[in-house]
Structure 1
Amino acid sequence: MEYSIGEFSRKTGLGIHTLRYYEHEGLLLPERTAANRRRYSEHDVAWAEFLLRLKETGMPIREIRHYAALRAEGDDTLSARMEMLTEHRANLAAELDRLHAHMEALDAKIAFYRAAIVECDKA
């Protein structure tokens, strides 16, 4: 199935301005019709979803561009792409550990306040 830019925007949740920006940055490269209109495929939908996942997990646009460039080069870059994703995953795991430590500290402070409130109510 093929999608116009408007249809693709609705399907992916990406704004038309964002799609044009992603094309300018080389992140999405839709086919063009004889009338020079963009035509997106199901393959583009899957790629856009993955781009969003990279963005939402904090990968900098510079690295996303590099990943997209490697992807465009083909299978010779599979190892490099896997290495990038492995490093990104390690960064996410470290961030989760930091967030978990913050949650524990907040939980301890909340427990302190709960206990203090109970003591105040007894008095």
Structure 2
Amino acid sequence: MLIAEVSEKFNLSHDTLRYYERIGLIPRVNRNKSGIRDYTAEDCKWVDFIKCMRGAGLPVEVLIEYVDLFQQGDATLETRKELLVDQHSQLATKMEDMKKVLERLEDKISRYEQTIVKKEKTLTRTQIPEK
């Protein structure tokens, strides 16, 4: 699959895909005889994984470490798991914090709407002249 197809499939720019490859977030993509990147199904799985993890807010540095550990093989299974558990914990904390902010914002909007309704009720309705 060409970079344009992968870019469209995952809604990532060509530059982002090249960057992910350059910094080691996705394994080096094979190239065809013309030197053009030729993504395999396995490469696409990596792109999907990285996009998902980035979307969840995992830092690039953590993902680089994870991919590096993965490349080292099964001896790093426990370390990789710990890394993911730690990121899970951090994400859960962020989500809880965001939930509190969302609740506060909803309360603020509710109070705002109540104030507007009260003020609108004090307004006099006037007839709009017909044309």
Give the Cα–Cα distance (whole angstroms) in 1 for the partners of residues 3 and 120 of structure 2.
Answer: 62
> Unmatched 5+ residue regions in structure 2?
123-131
Higher share in helix: 1
Q: Map Cα deviations across residues 48-100 of structure 1 (whole Å, 9 max, x no partner).
A: 11101111111111111111111111222111111111111111111111111
- CA-atom RMSD, angstroms? 2.0
> TM-score by structure 1 length?
0.83
Aligned to 2:3: 5
* Pair 1:16-2:5 in alignment: no
The alpha carbon displacement at 1:34 in A equals 5.1
Find the structure with the greater CA-based Rg: 2
Higher share in strand: 1
Aligned to 2:127: none
> Unmatched 5+ residue regions in structure 1?
none
Give the Cα–Cα distance (whole angstroms) in 2 for the partners of residues 86 and 4 of structure 1.
Answer: 34
> TM-score by structure 2 length?
0.78
Give the Cα–Cα distance (whole angstroms) in 1 for the partners of residues 16 and 66 of structure 2.
Answer: 18
In percent, how many aligned pairs have the same letter? 33
The alpha carbon displacement at 1:44 in A equals 1.1
Instruction: Report how many aligned residue pairs link the two structures.
Output: 121
